[in-house]
Amino acid sequence: MMNERKTGYFDYNATTPVDPRVLSEMKPFFSEIFHNPASFYRLAGEARYRVEASRAQIAKLINSHTDEVYFTSGGTESDNMAIMGMVKHLKSKGNHIITSEIEHPAVLNTCKYLEKNGYEITYLTVDQTGQVDPDELIKQITSKTVLVSIMHANNEIGTIQPIKELCQIVHQKEVFFHTDAVQSAGKIAVDVKELDVDMLSLSAHKIYGPKGVGVLFKKRNVKIDPLAFGGGHERGLRPGTENVPGIVGMGKAAELAVEEMDSEAQRLRQMRDRLQKELVNRVPDILINGNTPKRLYNTLNISVRHIEGEAMLAMLDQDGFALSSGSACSSKSTKPSYVLTAIGLSPEDAQGSLRISLGKYSTEEDIDRLLEVFPQVVDGLRKISPFWTE
């Protein structure tokens, strides 16, 4: 039953199923070891011990110190904490933030809020593969810049930014750097010492952990203000009784990611490349969006010209395939994806886009079945499209 629901699932960048090994680690922490980690007795100590063990598992995934890991409710909160916490702390220094046009809404909408409240935001443009230009970044830094926030890997097209290089530039100007690593963590190496970032966001549900738990990494000597106030949990930065089952699950998910990353990378890259090649062979007039070697190996974003992405999604859904068009967060609106227009797609081509993202439970049979059904779906829709002429 479980497995049946995972067949046809091609939306791993939106969320991932909880790995059964993660689930079994979490289970005791709901009703058996339910105790408040802050309490004095032995079972509370067990809960406390497991929260700290999870912190160590996550520190290992990103090569940080354990006391640099702060638990949050997810990637969105971590992004908010990093940006709002830094601008609050550096209020007297300046009011300028630099980010990119293709960030996740958790970063973009935080910046838009700040823009309405007296902040100046620079949105760096990207090239047709989704890369920001390091020279452009240098030019935009001023004495008023308090933070640069640029994502590690993009959720829609998979572009991987040269974070180490960008961070170096920013540090030369004595400005802090945050990166949203929600999509890269668990897929490619995320080493905070190597990248030298000051803050970094993670989310459990993108790495086969539960929804509603995440992490903000923050370097020991980097100071930010808290956004919430309470009982002093997470060293005063993020108060509230810990989500113990969630945290235990995220730790296990991080441990499994460390173990399985390399073999999964090879397997999924091979599957994605085969899918890409065969789709181009079998479907005339499609575009591969953000096609660069610096791209997540599990992600494939295509535009099928002259038809609507939404129409394809609906047809594919009937055949048991789950994919997305644009980003999940904007999939209720019919506006073309801002990420795709930022890389230079026309609104029409952006409307005809689909994101196919693979993961742990993707199989060769899944790919075969999609390759069989997809050309038929496109064919059917093009026959009734007023924009399509053979």
Contact residues toward ligand PLP (CB under 6 A) are 74-76, 104, 106, 151, 155, 180, 182-183, 203, 205-206, 214
The answer to whether the beta carbons of residues 260 and 277 sit under 8 Å apart is no
The 3-class SS string of 172-201 reads HCCCEEEEECCCCCCCCCCCHHHHCCCEEE
State the virtual CA torsion across 255, 327, 351, 128 in degrees, nearest 10.
-60
Between residues 110 and 183, which has the closer beta carbon with respect to ligand PLP?
Answer: 183
Q: What single-letter DSSP state applies at residue 70?
A: E
For residue 214, list its beta bridge partners: 72, 203
Q: What residues contact 55, with CB distance under 8 A and at least 6 apart?
A: 66, 69, 71, 251
Between residues 153 and 275, which has the closer beta carbon with respect to ligand PLP?
Answer: 153
Closest CB 211 distance from ligand PLP, rounded Å? 7
Closest CB 106 distance from ligand PLP, rounded Å? 5
Backbone angles phi, psi at 233, to 5 degrees: -65, 160
What gap in Å lies between CA 340 and CA 330, rounded to an integer? 13
3-state secondary structure of 67: helix
Distances, alpha carbon 36 to alpha carbons 39, 56, 204, 215, in Å:
5, 20, 21, 20
Between residues 182 and 304, which has the closer beta carbon with respect to ligand PLP?
Answer: 182
Residue with tokens 């949990």: 233
Closest CB 214 distance from ligand PLP, rounded Å? 5
Between residues 11 and 308, which has the closer beta carbon with respect to ligand PLP?
Answer: 11
Closest by CA to 370, choosing from 108, 87, 8, 128, is 8
Of 287, 329, 371, 373, which residue is the catalytic one? 329
Active site annotation includes 111: no
3-state secondary structure of 244: helix
Q: Which helix (H) or strand (E) holds 373?
A: helix 364-383
Closest CB 200 distance from ligand PLP, rounded Å? 11
Residue, CB closest to ligand PLP: 75
Closest CB 54 distance from ligand PLP, rounded Å? 16
Sign of the torsion angle spanned by Cα atoms 24, 30, 33, 37: positive
Closest CB 2 distance from ligand PLP, rounded Å? 22
Between residues 104 and 178, which has the closer beta carbon with respect to ligand PLP?
Answer: 104
Between residues 50 and 104, which has the closer beta carbon with respect to ligand PLP?
Answer: 104
Between residues 36 and 331, which has the closer beta carbon with respect to ligand PLP?
Answer: 331
Closest CB 21 distance from ligand PLP, rounded Å? 20
| Sheet of strand 286-289, all strands in order from the earlier edge strand to the far edge | 286-289, 299-304, 353-357
Residues classed as catalytic: 329
